[in-house]
Homo-oligomer: A and B are copies of this chain.
Amino acid sequence: MDGGGVDGYGMKMVRNRKVVLRRYVTAGYPTVDDMEVVSSTVMPRVPLGTMAPAVMVKNIYLSCDPWMRGRMTKHDDATAEIAEDFVLGEAMVNFGVSKVVDSTHPVFAAGDLVWGLCGWEEYSLITQPETLHKINHPDLPLSYYTGVLGVTGLTAYAAFFEVGKPKKGETVFVSAASGAVGQIVGQLAKIAGCYVVGSAGSDEKVTLLKTKFGFHDAFNYKKEGNDLTGALRRCFPDGIDIYFDNVGGATLDAALVNMRRGGRVVVCGMISQYNLQEPEGVHNVIQILSKTIRVEGFAVFNHFGLYPMFEDEMARYLKEGKVTVLQDVVKGIEKASEALIGMFSGRNVGKLLVAVADE
């Protein structure tokens, strides 16, 4: 099967490069050496004899997301985690946009454009095709389905509306606001009639928030010394109704102090904590009691039922120009690990993805 160029059915084998995890990351930032690109070949069809319906896809765009960090560490109690640890030596897994090249599943046919979970590789055999979604708005950029029209957008939408439960006129603070989820949350908050302020880690990102994404205000948290509490008090003299947390740690602590009574903290990410050996403590949890705050963790996997409604609503916002998107597209699967690592130190601006094939 491996070395030959043609299989027994006359079909040509193709090259299939994969990004695999070489070793589990114990603490701190992952490095490029933790991953490697390995090359093999694959027959681009569902293997004969595959019992359950399956789909072979050629991957076009791979999404880079902060939550991949958790899967790069070995967990003793994997059941406690949202997603399983990556398997060493196998392609890492995340969401992507792909074209179906072969299918034994009645819903999908060769040529269909889909998005869903796939390997960090050029071709993926999808053995659970029910996790794939057909792309219903091909008039919008295909890459959007790794982001604003995919899990990133659904995350922003479901977390903000279902957990945050915004009311018109409320105040919203978004951390890592220029990030993939943050930039969408800010724009949804404006659509919902809220006052929205974002934080980010560079002046360039702050400018983007105030111009491209229309945040009412924004600040560079690295310029506030250790007084994030003061920065938030300046931005929200009457307090915060919803804190959309993408970072955790000191920012969460400062937000708690500035929450209004009955406020909601949507815990969507804690990127400041993912690479620490010991987590920072959060000291102002008593505010949860004194202001009857609700702090709620969000996992998009509980909200996929919303996707069809979300896809149509978000596609409309995009077409109407109410939501705009900034992508950071890296070309070539050989650049994928470097891109992922850059994301953890905030190097990218906007939604990070890797283009691994032409559309």
Contacts and interface: CB of A to CB of B under 8 A. Distances in A.
Interface of A: 70, 80-82, 248, 252, 261, 267-270, 273, 278-299, 302
B297 A294 contact: yes
Contacts of A294: 294-297
Nearest to A269: B289
Nearest to A262: B302
A288 to B, nearest CB: 4
A235 B278 CA distance: 26
A270 B248 contact: no
A19 to B, nearest CB: 24
A295 B298 contact: no
Tally of this chain's copies = 2
Contacts of A269: 289
A281 B286 CA distance: 10
A298 B292 contact: yes
B295 A273 contact: no
Nearest to A295: B295
Contact of A297 (B248, B270, B293): B293
Given A295-B295, A296-B295, A279 B290 contact: no
A70 B302 contact: no
A272 to B, nearest CB: 10
Contact of A281 (B80, B273, B282, B298): B282
A279 B289 contact: no
17 contacts: A70-B290, A248-B286, A252-B285, A270-B289, A279-B286, A281-B281, A281-B282, A288-B296, A289-B297, A290-B297, A292-B302, A293-B297, A294-B294, A294-B295, A294-B297, A295-B295, A295-B296
Contacts of A284: 279
Contacts of A267: 285, 288-289
Contacts of A287: 297
A232 B297 CA distance: 22
A287 B267 CA distance: 10
Contact of A248 (B273, B281, B285, B299): B285
A270 B280 CA distance: 20
Given A294-B295, A297-B292, A302-B292, A270 B282 contact: no
A291 B299 CA distance: 8
Contacts of A293: 296-297
Contacts of A282: 281-283, 285
Contacts of A285: 248, 252, 267, 270, 279, 282, 285
Given A270-B286, A288-B295, 18 more contacts: A82-B290, A248-B285, A248-B289, A267-B288, A267-B289, A279-B284, A279-B286, A281-B282, A282-B282, A282-B285, A289-B298, A291-B297, A292-B296, A292-B299, A293-B296, A293-B297, A294-B294, A295-B295
